[in-house]
Amino acid sequence: MPTLSEAGSKELLGGFGVPFPAEHVVTTAADAVVAAEAVGYPVVVKLGGDGIAHKTERGLVRLNLSAADAVREAAEALLAAATPEDGEVHLLVAPMLRATRELIAGLHRDEQFGTTVMLGVGGILAEAVADVAFRLVPITRTDAEEMIDDLATQALLGEFRGEPAVDRDAVADVLLGLSQAATERPDVASADLNPLLIVDGRPIAVDALVELELEPS
Amino acid sequence: MTRHTPEQFRALFDPRAVLVAGASTHPGKFGFVALHNILSCGYQGGIYATNRDGAAVLGIATARDVAELPDGEIDLAFVCTPAGANPELLKACAAKGITAAFIASAGYGEAGDEGRRAQDELVALAEELGILLAGPNGQGVVSTPAQLCAQIVGPYPPRGRIGVASQSGNLVSAFQNYAGQTGVGISRAVSAGNAAAVAVPDFLEYFATDPETAVALAYIEGVAVGEGRAVYERLRQVSERLPVVLVKGGRSADGQRAAASHTGSLASDDRVFDGMARQAGVQRAATVEQAFDVAATFATQPLPQGNRVAVVTTAGGWGVATADALSQTSLQLAALPDDLRAAIDEHLPPRWSRNNPIDLAGGETRDTVPAVLDLVAGHSEIDAVIFLGIGIQSNEAKLMRRGRFYPDHGLERIVAYHERQDARFAQAAIEASDRTGKPVLVATELAVASPDNPAVATMREAGRLCHASANRAVAALDHLWQRSRWLQRRGLPLG
């Protein structure tokens, strides 16, 4: 199944109200520096393209760049790392967000029950911890609120290390946005918001991956 | 697949007369056992049987052929004949006006490709004939309002308000056994067998319309391919009308799958099923015995309006263990309101806990338990009560009664007093619940360890569940609260 680029995934899901950081899509190292000055340091620079799905595994994400030189150097290295199979590529320049709490959210088409929406505790241990809640789309706001309640790790959602409690309404909005995306775009086979960071108590997705099915079922 | 009519379900659960097709003279055969059970549990309708040789079975004259039976009198056929004979049998039954058949016969979908073909043909035939086809390869159907025990195994449960539908006949028996043990009875129970034409969700939909059934209790192992969405919608509609308690087998068979997305790799069948159940308002129980506990609690207690629980105990340890159990659920150990503390002070010596758990600390006298239960259950900041430590006095009385000094030395009098007290405490819990409209759960291990204890017996005879442990009471109450919250959040009445 084809995947959308990170930028394309964010554009699609952003259209349904999923919050993403303001970021710039550029094609040269020089423009990456201009973009970095605009969003403010530190920044993250990633190589994007329709053929690029697993950026982290390929080392195509450069985090925490805090000066123009570092941005230029990273951008040049990323562009050089592109292979012919990647097709047309671009650079994503985004503010480097810091969060101690990470959630994960997404869409998955279940063989038995059709498209489902998921919320879980994120981070590198997400799959091992597997503190997740699923619902069948479409969901109501009540369903979304109950998904948040279903998570076992409620302590993570309250006030945490000097940070405010998670804005549950805003998390519910993300889930409702995903549900609406699935309903209105039946060609969406899956979606990942991973991680869905909690910054100042509010959710913001810093990566997105949408898989499309060419013939919607 | 066409939906079945209420009249067809009535023919299955409340037939005017029953035919046992394939009645046998051999007491080890299903065709004998089914007739025996129908004859032995009080069924008042007409009972007919066919036998290949026309031999009398259990004193009933049988017919060789369905054609010999009266027209338009029989509603239900209980079929024990070999699979090969059943198509002709169904046609003959339809000609007599029979509209429901429970097929106990094996040799269908469970028996390879040929069996599956025979099953599909039988389903199509039944549909054409207007017969509701339950089974095949099922254990039977029980309907206590009709005193009908059309089953090839025991037991016959006490009458009550739980409707059971199960993909496993064996677990129908288990739920019936728990009903017998606890006194919390069953309205209808049906083993879906291969569920060729009528599956568990169909029975649940019938239960939602059945005035005899207040709670649905179901065991399923899976959902038929391609029916997931429809099952979800149907379960949700049933849940809006009555509590559905479900236990699902096959959890461990569920593997994590490789998927391109992280969401997909987290989407195990069981997690998706669990989310579906929560969304549909279905109470999914962790185990078979918990499923019965929860259903029996729904059947005998009102729903709590909130999650603030008071624990009233005559025994300290159980109180602490219960507080621990509550902390693992969505329930809260209520903060004891000052005015309630002051009110209880009037009834107990100062050594009582003065906190929740409300440990009476042996300060209970003849009237204090009923008085304290009333005060606690009646308080506006308490939503539910768990009452522990009941039956202790009678447990000692039992020892005294059996000891060599009874009835002398004043033992006869004290034994009678202890036993009266425990019966009274159980009665007080029932009355406190009735008076306040709040759940008041009673829990003691004596429910299992000493079922003849007067506290336990009083609960059982009143048709209330005496929970076998505080933890099990907490788990059941948690399910009641989850349902209450599900209904409240959707603006639905608590019933």
- The pLDDT value recorded for residue A85 is 86
Q: Is B260 on the interface with A (CB under 8 A)?
A: yes
| A134/B262 CB distance under 8 A | no
Other Cβ atoms less than 10 A from the Cβ of B482: the count is 20
Checking DSSP bridges between strand B140-143 and strand B148-151, what pairing results, if any? antiparallel
Q: How far apart are CA B365 and CA B375, in angstroms?
A: 16
CA distance to partner chain A, nearest, from residue B232 (Å): 8
Tokens of B99: 């509209």
SS3 B97: coil
| A192/B262 CB distance under 8 A | yes
| B261/A191 CB distance under 8 A | yes
Nearest to B263 among A53, A106, A112 (CB): A106
CA distance to partner chain A, nearest, from residue B194 (Å): 19
Q: Is B270 on the interface with A (CB under 8 A)?
A: no
Closest CA relative to residue B74, chosen from B2, B19, B22: B19
- The pLDDT value recorded for residue B252 is 64
To the nearest 5 percent, what fractions of chain B are helix, strand and coil? 45, 15, 40
| A134/B225 CB distance under 8 A | no
Nearest to B276 among A105, A113, A190 (CB): A113
β partners of residue B345? none
| A113/B225 CB distance under 8 A | no
Residues 6+ apart with CB under 8 A from B208: B216, B237, B238, B241, B242
Spell out the SS3 assignment of B244-293.
EEEEECCCCCCCCCCCCCHHHHHCCHHHHHHHHHHHHCCEECCCHHHHHH
Long-range contacts of B51-54 (CB under 8 A, 24+ apart): B51/B22, B51/B23, B51/B24, B51/B25, B52/B22
Q: Is B263 on the interface with A (CB under 8 A)?
A: yes
Vertex B403: Cα angle to B399 and B404 (nearest 5): 170
Judge contact between B102 and B76, C-beta under 8 A: yes
Q: Which residue of B lies nearest to A116 if distances are taken between CA atoms?
A: B272
Closest CA relative to residue A134, chosen from B256, B222, B330, B266: B266
For chain B, the first-to-last Cα distance in angstroms comes to 32
Q: Which residue of B lies nearest to A2 if distances are taken between CA atoms?
A: B260
Judge contact between B441 and B386, C-beta under 8 A: yes
> A125: buried, middle or exposed (CB in 10 Å: 19+, 13-18, 0-12)?
exposed
Residues 6+ apart with CB under 8 A from B403: B411
Q: Is the pLDDT of residue A124 over 90?
A: no
> B136: buried, middle or exposed (CB in 10 Å: 19+, 13-18, 0-12)?
buried
Q: Which residue of A lies nearest to B487 if distances are taken between CA atoms?
A: A142
Provide the number of CB pairs (under 8 Å) joining chain A to chain B.
Answer: 97
β partners of residue B149? B142
Best A6, A111, A112 member to test B by mutation, with max B CBs in 10 Å, is A112
Whose tokens are 């806990």? That residue is: B353
Closest CA relative to residue A20, chosen from A197, A215, A216: A197
Q: Residue-wise pLDDT tens for chain B (495 aa)? A: 567 999 999 999 999 999 999 999 999 999 999 999 999 999 999 999 999 999 999 999 999 999 999 999 999 999 999 999 999 999 999 999 999 999 999 999 999 999 999 999 999 999 999 999 999 999 999 999 999 999 999 999 999 999 999 999 999 999 999 999 999 999 999 999 999 999 999 999 999 999 999 999 999 988 877 889 999 999 999 999 999 999 998 876 555 556 667 888 888 889 999 999 999 999 999 999 999 999 999 999 999 999 999 999 987 889 999 999 999 999 999 999 999 999 999 999 999 999 999 999 877 777 889 999 999 999 999 999 999 999 999 999 999 999 999 999 999 999 999 999 999 999 999 999 999 999 999 999 999 999 999 999 999 999 999 999 999 999 999 999 999 999 999 999 997
Residues of B in contact with A132 (CB under 8 A): 266, 271
> A202: buried, middle or exposed (CB in 10 Å: 19+, 13-18, 0-12)?
middle
Question: Phi/psi of residue B411, each to 5°?
Answer: -70, -40
Mutual orientation of helices A68-81 and A29-39 as an angle, nearest 10°?
A: 140
| B265/A127 CB distance under 8 A | yes
Best A102, A107, A108 member to test B by mutation, with max B CBs in 10 Å, is A108
Q: Distance between alpha carbon B192 and the CA centroid of its chain, in Å?
A: 16
Judge contact between B393 and B422, C-beta under 8 A: yes
Q: Distance between alpha carbon A117 and the CA centroid of its chain, in Å?
A: 15
| A135/B278 CB distance under 8 A | yes
Other Cβ atoms less than 10 A from the Cβ of B366: the count is 11
Closest CA relative to residue B444, chosen from B463, B428, B424, B422: B422
Best A57, A115, A125, A134 member to test B by mutation, with max B CBs in 10 Å, is A134
Give Cα separations from B178 to B38, B209, B218 (angstroms).
Answer: 21, 25, 14
Nearest to A136 among B263, B264, B279 (CB): B279
Nearest to A120 among B259, B264, B266 (CB): B266
Closest CA relative to residue B83, chosen from B110, B43, B65: B110
| A127/B232 CB distance under 8 A | no
Checking DSSP bridges between strand B308-313 and strand B332-333, what pairing results, if any? parallel
Rg (CA), chain A: 17
Tokens of A12: 């699609």
Q: How far apart are CA B204 and CA A134, in angstroms?
A: 24
Residues 6+ apart with CB under 8 A from A134: A108, A116, A117, A118, A147, B267, B271, B272, B274, B275, B276
What is the average pLDDT across A2-10?
90
Q: Which residue of A lies nearest to B329 if distances are taken between CA atoms?
A: A152
CA distance to partner chain A, nearest, from residue B279 (Å): 6
Residues of A in contact with B263 (CB under 8 A): 104-108, 118, 190-192, 194
Give Cα separations from A90 to A31, A48, A102, B24 (angstroms).
Answer: 11, 5, 26, 80
Could you tell me the pLDDT band of residue A84, with boundaries at 50, 70 and 90?
A: confident
> One-letter amino acid identity for B436?
T
Closest CA relative to residue A24, chosen from A40, A39, A13: A39
| A116/B272 CB distance under 8 A | yes
